């Protein structure tokens, strides 16, 4: 059963293989320079068919070759007639002995149908342009790839500034572009980046190069990189030798073509491509790369037959386009010419070069000596440069490597005013000279075309003086034109960023050195050179000390608000409990009889509150004390509580008012008030400074930076002034300057620990020859103690305010400290007056109310008396009538009680109600009753005793 399955599987596999539509015969074309190369090409194809690693079973390779014609037109016709007509899948092309256009003709002709072309000797950079040579690859690198080796040589010899000389053709410009790209892409080590001081371009076919050489001689760089043809190189070397620019102190590194010049001087370094003329080796590598690509493509892609007729202008051969991509991806590790690989343009990479040094044994004979090699290291899987420096002879027949630059002895130095490092004093018109301690430092205002005279002194100025003596240079000092350290910003509405301030002057080569408190940071170090730090420092925060004066309620500070509330509540709770204990106790005054007239009144709630406050405030209690034992026990406990509270308050009050020391408002950069943008706290730094760059660089400080960015100042002096007047709450700046300001002014203080630690360094141009000298001098200053002496002289001065002694002395209390207590007394007085006014108003209201009640009561009594009087009169009249009706004629007496306090005159018109009954009647109306005697009046105003 297993055997049957095996046969079935093998049969299906064979059927599938037989049905593979890809061709099994491939024809490879060759356009070679000589018959020997043609025979070698055929031998390689024959041997290839027996190599099962590259050629699968059933596949056969054939060759069709023609000899390269110097005439490009005939070459193109021969390609159509002999190669394309035989359906070639790829073409290997060499270079003619004379003429340069024939390989291009092959590329144009085959490129029309996208038939891949593999060059084995053409190195022109024009073949890298895939818009023109769409299907061209090559096993040799273009001339422009020599820039990679140049960069490695400069890196090895530590040359940082060069002058680049090249012809204005395609290869020269391509070499310059690749050199600039490669030299600036070395990001691992900023120190090895190469700066091109100047680029000298010339037209091919030189007759004289003297004028350009004179300009080069005035530059600092003494390392010359040159690309030129053999004939142009002879002119350049001739004129350079006449100007002594091929002698000691100069270094020349040239390309392969220039190395072939007849008059190439001693000490020149050049490159030579390994196997550059070994056409057989390149033929073998190109055929095996092509076979590897066809094998891989045959397994995964559909391969159609190649074009057959050049007259057919139909569709593009898509298989050729795909085959080009497969060839470009191939890597031949052990080729005859080394590792064979291609870049995106189809150019050979990882090519090996020999480093050649011209060493003349005799005056008339030159000798090319191999002093190094640039090769592919299989272990590290990268290109590697090996140089034997001992075998190199430099210009002037010296074995010591030239410095590569001309060191200027007079330097243009810039500085900036920053106390205590640089003090700048402006000279008046009548003042002409600076003091011996000062250095003239004019300020050039380019916008107004003015120059102001200044004199500078300070820490950095003493350092500059000693530095010039140490390493022997002269200098011209000037202040920063715009008064800024420098910021990397977009200027003049352009898309390119530029440096301003001191850094901009150095980058623009308008200055040679910066001697100022210049912070070393990555942003600046990318564009300028720094010495080792001459002073180490960090970043800190400057703020104004909180006021030592107490507030109006400072006497309440010993206790917290919660404790004050508890004390206030306790007073009234204790008073209430005292009242209740004395009220319900059997031995209280409420329960005992008042047998003694001198006994005090019982303890009411008001007296209890008065007692509780009196004990707490330690005032004498003359009345209203509790009588019961239980209330007195509570009173004693309350007295103990009051003693502890008063003692604690007194002790803490002394600490708060007398020994109170102000503290900083901030704890450091991590203070929540700085990080929280909602807090009403203004902080700032100087625009474009190193501190500003530090905040932009730190992601965790981005929110804080966005808040403070709008508040940043142009100079540190303005910011410090605003801190002193309270306009700015926190100024973030270099610790050296802020600690100096805090020592000078006791009202200022630095908050928190240092952060963003760095150092001050001397700035120089990138690749400056003075960099190492300045660094060594500064290190020597540190070891000798000179830097410490500068610290003592300028930063740790003897006239610093004695802030620490002042802080340790106790405060003297004044009205400002105790104003709250006096205001409390005044509030008590005002409160008492207010209460007495309220009491008087209340009493007056009560009196009016009592008068109204008394009048009402009197009116009621009066009404009641009237009612009783009328009742009595009616009874008297009724009695008189009964007597008259019974015949009794006797005089009677009626007693009336009349209000004599408010007498009223009674007249017939005005009388009491019902008094008509007592009016005197006429005799005829008396009904026979005896008339009243004449002497009795009918009406009398006084009726207290009226006799009728």
In degrees and rounded to multiples of 5, residue 605 shows phi and psi of -65, -40
In degrees and rounded to multiples of 5, residue 551 shows phi and psi of -85, 175
- The span from the CA of 900 to the CA of 898, in Å, is 6
pLDDT > 90: what percent of the chain? 39
In this predicted structure, what is the pLDDT of residue 324? 94
Task: Tell me which range, 7-21, 142-156, 815-829, is most confidently predicted by mean pLDDT.
Answer: 142-156
- The span from the CA of 861 to the CA of 564, in Å, is 59
Q: How far is CA 294 from CA 24, 28, 139, in A?
A: 11, 11, 17
Residue positions counted in the chain: 948
Q: What is the pLDDT of residues 639-691, one digit of tens each?
A: 888 888 888 888 877 776 665 555 567 778 888 777 775 556 788 998 888 88
Give the ranges where 658-734 is alpha helix by DSSP (H).
672-675, 690-697, 702-708, 716-724
Q: Return the HEC string of 725-794.
A: CCCCCEEEEEHHHHHHHHHHCCCEEEEEEEEEEEEEEEEEECCCCCHHHHHHHHHHHHHHCHHHHHHHHH
Higher pLDDT, 34 or 822: 34
Confidence of residue 739 (pLDDT cuts 50, 70, 90): confident
Confidence of residue 5 (pLDDT cuts 50, 70, 90): very low
In this predicted structure, what is the pLDDT of residue 328? 94
The answer to whether 719 and 419 have CB atoms below 8 angstroms apart is no
Q: What is the pLDDT of residues 553-565, one digit of tens each?
A: 667 777 788 888 8
- The span from the CA of 643 to the CA of 879, in Å, is 88
Confidence of residue 826 (pLDDT cuts 50, 70, 90): low
The answer to whether 591 and 854 have CB atoms below 8 angstroms apart is no
**Pairing mode, if any, of strands 730-734 and 535-544?**
antiparallel
Other C-beta atoms closer than 10 Å to the C-beta of 845 total 10
DSSP 802-855: -HHHHHHSPPPP-HHHHHHHHHHHHHHHHHHHHHHHHHHHHHHHHHHHHHHHHH
Confidence of residue 227 (pLDDT cuts 50, 70, 90): very high
End-to-end Cα, the chain, rounded Å? 172
In this predicted structure, what is the pLDDT of residue 820? 59
- The span from the CA of 518 to the CA of 530, in Å, is 9
What tokens appear for 375 in the block? 């090769």
What tokens appear for 448 in the block? 């107004």
Helices 146-157, 170-184: axis angle to 10 degrees equals 40
The answer to whether 336 and 350 have CB atoms below 8 angstroms apart is no
The residues with which 31 forms a beta bridge, in sequence order, are: 66, 93
**524 annotated ligand-binding residue:** yes
SS3 542: strand
Q: Which of 422-431, 661-670, 937-946 comes out lowest in average pLDDT?
A: 937-946
Give the ranges where 587-628 is alpha helix by DSSP (H).
605-616
Q: Set out the domains of the chain in order of their start, with CATH numbers.
A: 21-140+278-348 (3.40.50.2300), 143-275+352-391 (3.40.50.2300), 412-537 (3.40.190.10), 554-657 (1.10.287), 819-947 (no CATH)
pLDDT of residue 367 exceeding 80, the answer is: yes
The answer to whether 263 and 233 have CB atoms below 8 angstroms apart is no
The answer to whether 337 and 282 have CB atoms below 8 angstroms apart is yes
pLDDT of residue 834 exceeding 90, the answer is: no
**519 annotated ligand-binding residue:** yes
Helices 35-48, 279-300: axis angle to 10 degrees equals 40
**Pairing mode, if any, of strands 195-202 and 513-519?**
unpaired
Cis amide linkage into residue 352, ω under 30° from 0: no
Q: Give the residue among 162, 115, 157, 158 at the shortest CA–CA distance from 134.
A: 115
Kindly tell me the sign of the dihedral angle through the C-alpha atoms of 770, 218, 199, 231. negative
The answer to whether 604 and 610 have CB atoms below 8 angstroms apart is no
pLDDT of residue 890 exceeding 70, the answer is: no
SS3 474: strand
**Structure letter (DSSP) for residue 686:** B
Confidence of residue 372 (pLDDT cuts 50, 70, 90): very high
Q: Could you tell me the pTM of the whole model?
A: 0.60
What tokens appear for 661 in the block? 């020391």
Sequence-distant (6+) residues with CB within 8 A of 49 are: 55, 60, 61
501 dihedral zone (left: phi>0; alpha: psi -120 to 50; beta) = left
Higher pLDDT, 904 or 472: 472
pLDDT of residue 937 exceeding 90, the answer is: no
SS3 520: coil
Q: Give the residue among 734, 792, 721, 742 at the shortest CA–CA distance from 761.
A: 734
What tokens appear for 619 in the block? 């005032």
**861 annotated ligand-binding residue:** no
pLDDT of residue 898 exceeding 70, the answer is: no
- The span from the CA of 383 to the CA of 249, in Å, is 30
- The span from the CA of 463 to the CA of 505, in Å, is 21
Q: Give the residue among 236, 111, 108 at the shortest CA–CA distance from 172.
A: 236
Q: What is the mean pLDDT of residues 155-159?
A: 90
Sequence-distant (6+) residues with CB within 8 A of 931 are: 923
Kindly tell me the sign of the dihedral angle through the C-alpha atoms of 741, 744, 748, 754. positive
What tokens appear for 373 in the block? 């090699």
**Pairing mode, if any, of strands 450-452 and 410-415?**
unpaired
What tokens appear for 537 in the block? 């420092």
Sequence-distant (6+) residues with CB within 8 A of 89 are: 26, 27, 28, 115, 116, 294, 306, 320, 323
DSSP 398-420: BSSPP-SB---SEEEEEE--BTT
**Structure letter (DSSP) for residue 428:** P
In degrees and rounded to multiples of 5, residue 560 shows phi and psi of -75, 165
- The span from the CA of 944 to the CA of 906, in Å, is 13
pLDDT of residue 181 exceeding 70, the answer is: yes
Higher pLDDT, 109 or 187: 109
Q: How far is CA 282 from CA 119, 275, 287, 421, in A?
A: 9, 8, 9, 67
Q: What torsion, rounded to 10 degrees, do the Cα atoms 671, 674, 678, 683 define?
A: 150
pLDDT > 70: what percent of the chain? 80
pLDDT of residue 887 exceeding 70, the answer is: no
- The span from the CA of 161 to the CA of 197, in Å, is 6
Q: What is the mean pLDDT of residues 356-372?
A: 81
* pLDDT mean across residues, the chain: 82
pLDDT of residue 82 exceeding 70, the answer is: yes
Q: What is the mean pLDDT of residues 166-182?
A: 93
483 dihedral zone (left: phi>0; alpha: psi -120 to 50; beta) = left
609-620 CB burial, b ≥16 within 10 A, e <16: bbbbbbbbeeee
């Amino acid at each position: 059963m297993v055997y049957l399955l095996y046969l079935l599987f093998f049969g299906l596999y064979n059927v599938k293989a037989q049905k593979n539509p890809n061709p099994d015969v491939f024809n490879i074309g060759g356009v070679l320079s000589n018959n020997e190369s043609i025979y070698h090409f055929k031998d390689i194809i024959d041997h290839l068919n027996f190599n099962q690693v590259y050629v699968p079973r059933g596949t056969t390779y054939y060759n069709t070759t023609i000899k390269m014609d110097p005439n490009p037109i005939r070459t193109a016709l021969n390609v159509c007639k002999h190669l394309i007509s035989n359906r070639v899948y790829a073409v290997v092309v060499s270079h003619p002995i004379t003429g340069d256009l024939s390989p291009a003709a092959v590329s144009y002709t085959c490129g029309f149908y996208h038939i891949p072309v593999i060059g084995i000797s053409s190195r022109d950079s024009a073949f890298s342009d895939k818009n023109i040579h769409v299907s061209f690859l090559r096993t040799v690198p273009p001339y422009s790839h020599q820039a990679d080796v140049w960069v490695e040589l400069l890196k090895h010899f530590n040359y940082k500034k060069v002058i680049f000389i090249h012809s204005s053709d395609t290869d020269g410009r391509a070499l310059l572009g690749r050199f600039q790209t490669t030299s600036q892409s070395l990001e691992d080590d900023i120190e090895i980046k190469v700066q091109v001081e100047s680029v000298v371009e010339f037209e091919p076919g030189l007759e004289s190069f003297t004028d350009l050489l004179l300009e080069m001689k005035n530059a600092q760089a003494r390392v010359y990189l040159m690309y030129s043809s053999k004939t142009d190189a002879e002119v350049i070397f001739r004129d350079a030798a006449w100007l002594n620019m091929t002698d000691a102190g100069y270094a020349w590194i040239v390309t392969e073509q220039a190395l072939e010049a007849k008059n190439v001087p001693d000490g020149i370094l050049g490159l030579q491509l390994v196997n550059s003329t070994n056409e057989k080796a390149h033929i073998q590598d190109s055929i095996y790369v092509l076979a590897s690509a066809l094998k891989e493509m045959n397994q995964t892609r559909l391969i159609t037959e190649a074009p057959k007729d050049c007259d057919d202008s139909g569709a593009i051969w898509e298989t050729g386009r795909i085959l080009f991509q497969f060839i470009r991806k191939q890597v031949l590790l052990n080729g005859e010419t080394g590792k064979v690989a291609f870049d995106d343009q189809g150019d050979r990479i990882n090519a090996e070069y020999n480093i050649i040094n011209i060493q003349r044994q005799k005056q008339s004979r030159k000798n090319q000596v191999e002093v190094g090699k640039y090769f592919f290291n299989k272990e590290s899987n990268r290109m590697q440069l090996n140089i034997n420096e001992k075998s190199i002879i430099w210009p002037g027949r010296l074995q010591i490597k030239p410095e590569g630059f001309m060191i200027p002895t007079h330097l243009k130095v810039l500085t900036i005013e920053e106390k205590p490092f640089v003090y700048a004093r402006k000279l008046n018109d009548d003042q002409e000279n600076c003091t011996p301690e000062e250095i003239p430092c004019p300020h050039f205002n380019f916008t107004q075309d003015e120059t102001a005279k200044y004199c500078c002194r300070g820490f950095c100025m003493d350092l500059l003086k000693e530095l010039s003596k140490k390493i022997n240079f002269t200098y011209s000092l000037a202040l920063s034109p715009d008064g800024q350290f420098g910021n990397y910003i977009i200027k003049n509405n352009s898309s390119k960023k530029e440096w301003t301030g001191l850094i901009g002057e150095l980058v623009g080569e308008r200055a040679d050195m910066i001697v100022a408190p210049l912070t070393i940071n990555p942003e600046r170090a990318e564009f300028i050179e720094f010495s080792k730090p001459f002073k180490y420092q960090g970043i800190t925060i400057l703020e104004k000390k909180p006021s030592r004066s107490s507030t109006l309620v400072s006497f309440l500070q010993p206790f917290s608000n919660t404790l004050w509330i508890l004390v206030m509540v306790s007073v009234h709770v204790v008073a209430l409990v005292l009242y209740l204990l004395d009220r319900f106790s059997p031995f209280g005054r409420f329960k005992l009889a008042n047998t003694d007239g001198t006994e005090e009144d019982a303890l009411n709630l008001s007296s209890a509150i008065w007692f509780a406050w009196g004990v707490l405030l330690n005032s004498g209690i003359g009345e209203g004390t509790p009588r019961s034992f239980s209330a007195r026990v509570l009173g004693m406990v309350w007295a103990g509580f009051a003693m502890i509270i008063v003692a604690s308050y007194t002790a803490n009050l002394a600490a708060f008012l007398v020994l109170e020391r102000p503290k900083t408002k901030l704890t450091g950069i991590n203070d929540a008030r700085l990080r929280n943008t909602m807090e009403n706290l203004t902080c700032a730094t100087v625009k474009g400074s190193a501190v500003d760059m530090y905040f932009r660089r730190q992601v965790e400080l981005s929110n804080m930076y966005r808040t403070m960015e709008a508040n940043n100042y142009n100079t540190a002096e303005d910011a410090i002034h605003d801190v002193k007047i309270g306009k700015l709450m926190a100024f973030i700046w270099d610790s050296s300057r802020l600690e100096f300001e805090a020592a000078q002014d006791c009202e200022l203080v630095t908050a928190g620990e240092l952060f963003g630690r760095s150092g001050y360094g001397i700035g120089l141009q990138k690749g400056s020859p003075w960099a190492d000298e300045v660094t060594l001098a500064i290190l020597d200053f540190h070891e000798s103690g000179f830097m410490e002496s500068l610290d003592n002289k300028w930063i740790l001065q003897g006239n610093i305010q004695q802030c620490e002694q002042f802080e340790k002395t106790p405060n003297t209390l004044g009205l400002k400290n105790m104003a709250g207590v006096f205001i409390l007394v005044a509030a008590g007085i005002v409160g008492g007056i207010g209460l007495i006014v309220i009491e008087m108003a209340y009493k007056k209201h009560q009196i009016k109310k009592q008068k109204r009640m008394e009048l009402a009561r009197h009116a009621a009594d009066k009404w009641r008396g009237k009612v009783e009087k009328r009742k009595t009169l009616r009874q008297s009249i009724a009695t008189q009538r009964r007597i008259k009706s019974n015949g009794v004629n006797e005089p009677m007496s009626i007693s009336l009680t009349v209000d004599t306090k408010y007498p009223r005159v009674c007249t017939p018109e005005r009388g009491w109600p019902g008094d008509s009954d007592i009016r005197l009647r006429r005799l005829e109306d008396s009904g026979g009753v005896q008339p009243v005697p004449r002497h009795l009046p009918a009406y009398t105003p006084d009726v207290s005793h009226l006799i009728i």
